[in-house]
Amino acid sequence: MIEIQLWWLIILPVFFGLGWLAARIDIKHVLAETRSLPAQYFQGLNHLLNGDTNRAVEVYVDIAKLHAETSELQFTLGHLFRRRGELERAIRMHQRLLDRKDLSDNHRQQATLELAIDFMKAGLYDRAEDLLHQLADTNFARQARRELLAIYQQEHEWKKAIELAQQLRDESHGYQHEIAHFHCELAAQAMLHARHEEVSRELEAALQANRQCARARVMLGEHALAQQQHEQAITEWGLIEKQDVLYLALVARHLLAAFDAVGKTAEGERYLQGLLQQHPDLDVLDVLYERILARSGAEAVSAFVRERLREHPTMPGLRKVLEAYLLQAPSEQQPDLEIIVRLIHEENRENTVYYCGECGFRTRQYFWHCPACNAWESYPPVRGQRRLGH
């Protein structure tokens, strides 16, 4: 034990000495690099840190004119131009870099990637795609493939997207989620042209890629309903309950129509009411309200929504209760109730739209693919529900 302690007394000072020497070398290197930078560089950096992008760009443009050899600075400028939406200037900056004879292979590949992204932002997908293919066997190959995948999605080249996503699969990102949706997109195209076998094949491929793909199950039910296979539609949509029951809200009206078609109207209504009791967030209150009102009248629908409000108090639920009261209220009370219902509706507009869980974009129509950030299945199927960072 004493020998071990003596060894540590000898070794520790040696380690401290080596660490001090390494730190001195790093500091000298940093100071040397700092002295080689023009003072304006730090002015531009200060503007960036303060969020003043416009002044930062002006400073860096001046530096680039005087120090054309500073490729890193030109990359920074190109990025800033693109960020500000000045795509023509970004394209010129990156093309100027590619024209340089002294550019290293790594920087040339980086400039090619940046120019491809510029073209993508400008909507010049063909030119971007050509450049990205040039990076196939370089250090930027994987990033180029990701950008290509974005292009294929923008251009609805779903077969190419599937093939590329399969190449990109790794331990950190399996792309099963995206591949399933690409197959669903192919199925949607086939539906438009009544290619029934192709629809079934693509949707089964979607479920093979991702067994929890609610969209594929939704579409299988829609496909069955379109062919008058009502029992099959009910079966397919019933399986959504095991995947994510909330997605049943997207097909609730069609589901009840399928139950109607096979003479099981009451069973269909009881099924949805039972799910609503078990899953209060299931967005089917409006559908059931309309159905019960049409079938059983104002008194029955009033009792139904009052019970739902007691079990799960929400503003949409309160609005439905007031709407039911309005149906039975004496004529002299109706104007006041109408004002209250309208005010509640106006104050709670956020409860009537869908929110993207990635970017927060809101819309009255449900999207499987966010039109703002291009995320797949990022909208919770419940109006008014926010789930940022999904």
Q: What is the pLDDT of residues 237-294, one digit of tens each?
A: 999 999 999 999 999 999 999 999 999 999 999 999 999 999 999 999 999 999 999 9
Residues sharing a CB contact under 8 Å with residue 294, sequence separation 6 or more, in sequence order = none
pLDDT at 316 over 80: yes
Both structure tokens of 387? 């789930």
Q: Which of 15-19, 126-130, 299-303 has the lowest mean pLDDT?
A: 15-19
The domain 40-155 belongs to what CATH superfamily? Tetratricopeptide repeat domain (1.25.40.10)
Question: Whole-angstrom Cα distance, residue 390 to residue 382?
Answer: 14
Q: Give the residue extent of every domain in the chain.
A: 40-155
Residue count (the chain): 390
Rounded-to-integer distance, Cα 256 and Cα 273, Å: 12
**Residue whose structure tokens are 């070398």:** 25
Q: Do 223 and 189 meet the contact criterion of CB atoms below 8 Å apart?
A: no
3-state secondary structure of 41: helix
Check whether 184 is labelled as a binding-site residue.
no
pTM: 0.77
- 359: annotated binding-site residue? yes
How do residues 11-55 score in pLDDT, each as one tens digit? 445 445 545 444 444 444 433 444 445 555 555 555 555 666 666
CA angle 134, 136, 138 (to 5 degrees): 95
CA–CA separation, 217 and 364 (whole Å): 22
Residue 51's pLDDT is 61
Res. 207: pLDDT tops 60: yes
SS3 376: strand
